[in-house]
Structure 1
Amino acid sequence: MTKPTVVVLGAAGAQASGLLRGFGRTETDLELVLCDRAWRDDAPLEVGTQQVHRVLFDLLSEPDKLREILTGADLVVNLTGPYYTLGPIILDAAIEAGTNYLDICDDADATELLLQRDQAAKAAGVTALIGMGSAPGTTNVLVRLALDALPAGDASASITWCVDAKDMVGAVVPHFAHSFSTAVPEFGGTPGWELLAPERVSFPEPVGEQLVVTLSHPEVLTLPRFTRVTTAHNKGGLIPEDFTHLGWSVSRLPHGPNRTAAMHTIFEAALAGHSEREPVGSGLIVDVRVGSDGISFLSGGQMSQDDATGTPAAAGSLVALQGKVPGPGVVSPEVLEPADFFTALREVSAGGGGMTAYRTRDGEIVEHVRIRDLLTLDAVAR
C-alpha cells in the first residue's frame, strides 16, 4: 500500500515539533515532506520511523515551487505564521494543486479570509480543516461533544484559557498582539483595557487563579457557523499576568517595518527578567450550556504549547487522511465526530493532559462525568 504523503510547511518551527512527535507515535506509515526556509543542521527530528524528506525553500519568494511540492500530496499541514498574512496564500495554492489542507490558524480575521475560500475548495474537491490545534481545535471538538450530550435548543459556549509566557516564541508574539487589536472588531484597533472586560478565573491546579481578557479567536466565528451555538465568547491570558498587560501594550505600537522586531525585543527582555521563574503550565475551561443544563471541561497542567497544539494537529491529520473530515470545503474542527478525533488523539499523544468534565445546572457543578462516557453517548445517538 502506498504511504500517504504529508507536506508540512514551517516544519522547523516550535509548533511543528509537537506535530512531528505525534506523527512519530502513530502506527500509520507516512511519507513526510518537511519544508522550511531555514534548517539547523544539528536540529534533531523526532519522527519515529516515518520516512522524511527535508526541503529548504521560501514559500513567498518561490510560489512555483510551493505548487510543485503540493501537487500529488495527500495533505498539506500549514504551520507558518502569521496566518492573517500567509494562510490565504497557502490555502489558495492547495486548492489550485487539489491537495487537502490543515492548519492551526488562531486568528479570527484570518479565519474569515479562509472561510471565504469555501466555494473554491468545493469546486476543486479540496477539504480544508482550519484551526486544528489546541484552542481553536480541541476546544471546538469539546464543544461538539457537549452539544451531542445536551438537550435540543440554542446553545452558548464560553472558552477561557491561559498559557505560560515562556511559550511566547516565534510567530506567537505578533499573534498575541494581533489578538488584542482585533478583539473588538467594531472598535477598529486595540481597545482600551476596560473594554477587554478583564476578570480573574480559577483554573485547576497547579494553574490556579489567573487574569484573562477578551481576545479575538476563531471559535467565536466558527461555532455559530457549524453548530447550534448562537453565542460564543473567548477570553485568554498569559502567566504571569504582567505579560497579558504587555501584550496589550505592544499591540498599540505604531505599524511599520520594525514593529514585529520591536515586539520580540520587548518580550525577550521581559522573559529574561523572569528567567528564574518555574513555568506554571496552561489552563483551559470550555463551558457549554443549553438553557439551565450544561457541560464544562477543565484542565490545568504542565504540557508545553508545542505539544498542546501540535498533538491535536497530528490527530486531525490522521482523521483527514482517513477521509473522515466532512467535505469538500473549508471547515472547522467542530464538524469532526468526537470519537474519530479522540481515537486519533490517543494514537499520537504521549498521554497526560488532565482533562475533567462535569455536568452543570445554572452554571454550578452537579456531577463529574467521564469523557469516555460522553463519547459512548455520542456513539449511541448516532
Structure 2
Amino acid sequence: MVTVGIVGVGQMGSAALRILLEQLPDARFEAMDRSPEAIAGAEALDQQRVSGRLVDVSSESVDLSGLDLVLNMSGPFFAGSGSLAQDALRSGTTYIDIGDDLEATDSILALNAQAETAGVALITGAGWSPGVTNWCAARLLDEHPDADGVNVVWATHERNPGGLAPLRHMLHMAVSPCPVWSDGRWTDSPGFVPATAAEFDFPEPLGRIEAYDTAHPEPRTLARSYPRLRNARCKGSLRPAWANAAFSTLGRIGFGYHDLAVDVAGHDVEPAEFLWKMMWARHHAAARGDEGRALTALMVQVFRGADTDVLGSLAVLDDAPMSRGTGLGAAVAALAALREPPAAGAWGPEILPWQFTLSEYERIGLALGGFGPGIQTPAASVS
C-alpha cells in the first residue's frame, strides 16, 4: 500500500489531499502541520486513511521513514525548504514541494549530488507557477524545437486576503531580485516595477493585462533542463491592477523583510503578520457579499530570437483562488512520481513527463468544475 505524507495542510495542502484521496483510493496519508486545527481538518476528510502528526519543519527534523513520497506544502519557501529535503534523503523518500521562491529552488538544486548518491528524487516547484507553467513550457519546447526563449506569465485575483504564507511570499517578491536568463547569461531584474512591464493577451474573461518581472524560479530550472534556451523570464500580475503598485510599495517600505521584527507594547511583531491581520480585519468589516469572482491564470510562450516572434503559446484559467490550482498541480506531480519514479537527483518539475501531467491536470481540473475549457492555445501576443 502506498503511503503519502503531506507537510502543511493549510489551503493548498488540504486541496492536494482532497484530490489525492479521490485519485488514490487505496493509499494512506499522513498529514503533518504545526497547527492542531489544520491536522484535525485533514483527518476529518477521511478518518480511516488520514492520520495526523504535529510537526514544525522550520525548527525540527522530521522522520519520513515509511513514506513512499512526501509533499512539502509548507510555505513561505524562502524561509527554507532544504531541511525537509534533507530529511527525505535520510529516509529514502521521494520529495516534492511547491516552492515558488528562488532561494528555495537553489537550496534544493544544490542537493543534486547528495540525491544522486542516495538514490532519491527531489523535485521542487511542482504547483501552479512554477509547476503547470513548466509542463506547458516543456510541451511547447518539444513542439517547437527551434525555439530558444520562454515567457512565463501568471495573474491572480483573490476574493479575500488568504493565508499568511502566500502574503509573505508576495511581499518578499517585491524586494527580491528576479532571475532573468538573457542571451545565455543570468541577470537580476527588480520585482514588480513599471520598468519591466509588458502587455499580454489572455483568453477571456481576463483579456489584455500588464505584467511585471517577478522572482519566480521557472527561468532557473527551465534554463538548466533545456540548454538550448537563450532567454527565459517570468512575469506576474495581481488583479485588480492597482494591487501591483500597492504590494510593491508595501514590500519595499519594510513589510517584505521576514527577518524584521517590531516591538509593539513589549511584543515582537512581524510586519507581514500585522499587515495580514489588518487586511483580514478590514475585509470582515467591509464585507458586503460582493467580493467578486476569483481568477487564476497562466500563460506560457516560446519564441525564437526576439520575444515578439512567438512560435506557440498555452494558457490555463480557473475561476477559483490560486490555492486550488496549486494544490491540483502538487497532486498531479505526486501521481506522476508514483506512476513512474523520477531519476535520482534534484530537479525542477519539468522532469515529470508533460504528456501525463498536463493530461491529468486538465482531466481532474475539469472534473472539479473549473479550468474550463481546459488548456487553451491563445493567439500569440506580447508587447
Q: TM-score, normalised by structure 1?
A: 0.83
* Distance change (3 Å), C-alpha of 1:166 and 1:239: same
Aligned to 1:335: 351
Aligned to 1:158: 151
Aligned to 2:137: 143
Where do residues 70-219 of structure 1 align in structure 2 (5 Å cutoff)?
Answer: 70-150=64-144, 152-166=145-159, 168-184=162-178, 193-195=193-195, 197-219=196-218
How far apart are residue 242 of structure 1 and its match? 2.4
How far apart are residue 32 of structure 1 and its match? 0.2
Aligned to 1:264: 276
**Contact residue 18 and residue 306 of structure 1 kept, 8 A:** yes
How far apart are residue 244 of structure 1 and its match? 1.6
> How many angstroms apart in 1 are the aligned matches of 2:7 and 2:229?
32
Please say which of residues 152-161 and 42-51 is displaced more in the overlay.
Answer: 42-51
> How many angstroms apart in 2 are the aligned matches of 1:322 and 1:187?
37
Deviation per CA, 1:211-262, whole angstroms, max 9, x where unpaired? Answer: 3211111101111100233211111121112222221122113341222223
Please say which of residues 232-241 and 162-171 is displaced more in the overlay.
Answer: 162-171
List gaps (5 residues or longer) in structure 1.
366-382
How far apart are residue 305 of structure 1 and its match? 1.5
> How many angstroms apart in 2 are the aligned matches of 1:300 and 1:123?
40
**Contact residue 154 and residue 235 of structure 2 kept, 8 A:** yes
% same residue: 25
Does 2:316 match 1:299?
Answer: yes
* Distance change (3 Å), C-alpha of 1:28 and 1:289: farther
Query: Does the residue aligned with 1:171 lie in a helix, a strand or coil?
Result: helix
> How many angstroms apart in 2 are the aligned matches of 1:7 and 1:343?
24
The count of corresponding residues between Structure 1 and Structure 2 is 353
Query: Does the residue aligned with 1:245 lie in a helix, a strand or coil?
Result: helix
Deviation per CA, 1:273-319, whole angstroms, max 9, x where unpaired? Answer: 57633124122211112465611112333032121000111111011
> How many angstroms apart in 1 are the aligned matches of 2:24 and 2:363?
8
Please say which of residues 76-85 and 342-351 is displaced more in the overlay.
Answer: 342-351
Does 2:18 match 1:21?
Answer: yes
How far apart are residue 98 of structure 1 and its match? 1.6
> How many angstroms apart in 1 are the aligned matches of 2:187 and 2:276?
25
**Contact residue 34 and residue 52 of structure 1 kept, 8 A:** yes
> How many angstroms apart in 2 are the aligned matches of 1:154 and 1:187?
21
Letter in 2 for 1:308: G
* Distance change (3 Å), C-alpha of 1:189 and 1:342: closer
Please say which of residues 158-167 and 172-181 is displaced more in the overlay.
Answer: 158-167
Aligned to 2:265: none
Letter in 2 for 1:282: T
Deviation per CA, 1:15-73, whole angstroms, max 9, x where unpaired? Answer: 1121012112214521100011113287366756971111123234442xx12xx0121
How far apart are residue 331 of structure 1 and its match? 0.7
Deviation per CA, 1:303-356, whole angstroms, max 9, x where unpaired? Answer: 32121000111111011112342x201111212221221344356443431344
* Distance change (3 Å), C-alpha of 1:72 and 1:338: same
> How many angstroms apart in 2 are the aligned matches of 1:49 and 1:314?
20
* Distance change (3 Å), C-alpha of 1:287 and 1:324: same
**Contact residue 156 and residue 229 of structure 1 kept, 8 A:** yes
Aligned to 2:264: none
**Contact residue 101 and residue 169 of structure 2 kept, 8 A:** yes
Does 2:301 match 1:287?
Answer: yes
Aligned to 2:251: 251
* Distance change (3 Å), C-alpha of 1:46 and 1:279: farther
Does 2:327 match 1:315?
Answer: no
2:29 maps to which of 19, 27, 32: 32
* Distance change (3 Å), C-alpha of 1:49 and 1:138: farther
**Contact residue 314 and residue 348 of structure 1 kept, 8 A:** no
> How many angstroms apart in 1 are the aligned matches of 2:128 and 2:178?
22
> How many angstroms apart in 2 are the aligned matches of 1:87 and 1:334?
19
Letter in 2 for 1:220: P
Letter in 2 for 1:217: H
Aligned to 1:369: none
> How many angstroms apart in 1 are the aligned matches of 2:117 and 2:248?
41
**Contact residue 192 and residue 213 of structure 2 kept, 8 A:** no
> How many angstroms apart in 2 are the aligned matches of 1:263 and 1:183?
23
Please say which of residues 263-272 and 78-87 is displaced more in the overlay.
Answer: 263-272
Aligned to 1:353: 371
Please say which of residues 236-245 and 285-294 is displaced more in the overlay.
Answer: 285-294
**Contact residue 316 and residue 344 of structure 1 kept, 8 A:** no
* Distance change (3 Å), C-alpha of 1:180 and 1:357: same
**Contact residue 193 and residue 213 of structure 2 kept, 8 A:** no
* Distance change (3 Å), C-alpha of 1:266 and 1:160: farther
> How many angstroms apart in 1 are the aligned matches of 2:296 and 2:245?
18
Does 2:250 match 1:232?
Answer: no
Letter in 2 for 1:353: F
**Contact residue 70 and residue 95 of structure 2 kept, 8 A:** yes
How far apart are residue 364 of structure 1 and its match? 5.9
